[in-house]
Amino acid sequence: MTVEPSKVPVSISLYQDAVYELETAIETAAKAGYHSITTPIVHRKFQREFIDEPLKTLHSRFTRSDLLLTSSQWLNRVICQLSTDTDCDSELDEVRKRGEATIRQELSFAEHLVQNGVVLLPLRNGNCANLARLVTYGLKGTLLVGIPMVNPKSVQSTWRNDVDDDLPLEDTWTWWNNFRSYADFNSHVKVALEFTADIPSSKEISRWLGEPVDAIILSSNIFLTNAKNFPVLSKSHQELLVLFHRTLGCHFILKANPDDKHLSNYSDYMLHILRTNYVKDPMQGYDDLLEIPLQPLYDNLDSFTYEIFEKDPVKYILYQNAIEEALRDRVPTEELEERTSIIMVVGGGRGPLVRAALNASVKSKRKVKVYVIEKNPNAIVTLSALINELWKDRNVELISTDMREFEPPEKADILVSELLGSFGDNELSPECLDGAQKHLKPDGVSIPCKSTSYLNPCMTTNLYNQIRSLEKSPQSKDRVVTSKYMEGAYVAYLKNVYHIDDPLPVFEFVHPNRDPVIDNSRFKTLRFKAALDCVMHGFVGYFDSVLYKDIIISIHPFTHTKGMGSWFSMFFPLTEPIQVKRGQEIVVNFWRCVAAHKVWYEWNVTAPRQTHIHNVQGRGQPIWK
């Protein structure tokens, strides 16, 4: 779905290394198409003396007054940058202490100017433990940590003789990982990723998409000049620009000389590229939003939830096609007039599967009788109205009871349900269909007839921090209470995520289940391999389901049913992130546990390091029968 270009939100800030008149600089930037300016909070050549007694003549004045702008202007029109020429992690005490004093002074003034605003801190290397400790303690606003996409030394090594080509260059992602790890994954700390002339591998780019990248920094140096002498980006840089904006909604900071005659051309060009290539995500608004999985067997769903599901036409068309094909297979053409197929819709909701069954009857020209079994008394009201008003001439019978307790007067040819959930079996479809399959004829079919779950490890700082913020809420007083957040599963439309490896199959369920003893507990050990250094925050779960023959619905990323939006993926978090090195094996154990009144998942990692078993006995999140 395309969006009118002028309505695509894009924010660009103009970086100014030194600003003489703030208001003039803001006005000049605005005329050139920029929404704000980014500038050092203190002039880079200013020499400070930190002594016990401030000089009375200067009163410790080290930068311009906050009265030059209103509070709103400071907050919305200025991004303050901290000094880049300090070394808070120097082995020399004098250098380190001076760096500490400088950063404390600047950060204090920045928070005075823009409390809960944005501050930029360019990072020069991965030796930053003391710096991270200083700038993140008590942080209230957003700290943008400036990281180059490619190590600048890789460029220097092509023309400088003093750079040793044999020494491996440190990945700049490691700089960021060190900083945020020292800061204990502080949710206020985000990335300002600086595009470089060199572009890393697609895997490395994907890894950045799993990080909290809030801003993209571009230098005028990476722009090319076209035949008309206007600045343009290479095709690869254009694609990167669009990718980060579309996926993460980043804003932009452009570095250029204030005397550059193309200032307005840079902003116009970036707006053009971003707006003409923007495609609105139909799921926009659900991005990385945590939701607790539904338990429709235990809870009665509300009208709003039913309505959301009913807005997915793709799923019900596929169900209709599956029912139609099953009807054609079961009733030969010569028996059209005398044979009626019995369809049982178990879990009728507000009728979409009933509608699919009736439509399939018309298209296949096969007679049907539809039993609708629904336990939700509120949905019964809707179904009764539909039968009386829309389906009064159709052979539809409504039964208000639990599908497992229903005693039908006749056996079914086709049993239809949609109790799949994002992991395939997390809405207890195995237990429900095992209980309902007694209604089937010996040769009857179940739609769906098979479901498979899948799992892969992932890095998603965003989701991890959201869950951890629940642990730190006022009602979380102790570890017993807080464990339920980190040991539960969540439904989420993941965009800010890096998939460490491809998904592997976990559990499979076949319906009807003809095993002499039905056991829906499961155990599986999965092995993955990391292509890059990364941080593992948990696992993403998916499913696919065979409705009938070759008609399949899937949320597996490689086979996702086009246009289907009924299910988002599942996220199974780890209580503590795990640092993973390139080439390391990741081994996870996954259990599906079953008791008399509940079902639950347990999981743990045994490599690259061992973790405790999560959600033991369903303490974090049981699924009630």
Active site residues: 418, 427
| DSSP code of residue 583 | T
143 neighbors 189 (Cβ within 8 angstroms): yes
Give the position of tokens 């507990």.
521
Residue 458's alpha-carbon distances to 291, 497, 578, in angstroms, are 18, 7, 11
3-state class (DSSP) for residue 226: coil
527 neighbors 587 (Cβ within 8 angstroms): yes
| Token duo for residue 513 | 């289940």
Q: What is the dihedral of CA 106, 112, 118, 120, to 10 degrees?
A: -10
190 neighbors 143 (Cβ within 8 angstroms): yes
| DSSP code of residue 52 | S
Among 203, 204, 202, 262, which residue's Cα sits nearest to residue 233?
262
d(CA 381, CA 393): 19
Give 28-51 as a 3 state SS string: HHHHCCCCEEEEECCCCCCCCCCC
d(CA 302, CA 338): 40
d(CA 28, CA 31): 5
Give the position of tokens 């086009």.
562
Query: Which residues sit opposite 599 in a β-bridge?
Result: 594, 623
3-state class (DSSP) for residue 93: helix
Among 212, 192, 274, which residue's Cα sits nearest to residue 3?
274
Q: Sign of the C-alpha dihedral, residues 177, 182, 184, 190?
A: negative
d(CA 437, CA 432): 9
605 neighbors 588 (Cβ within 8 angstroms): yes
Among 421, 441, 467, which residue's Cα sits nearest to residue 567?
421
Angle at 233 between CA 499 and CA 1, to 5 degrees: 55
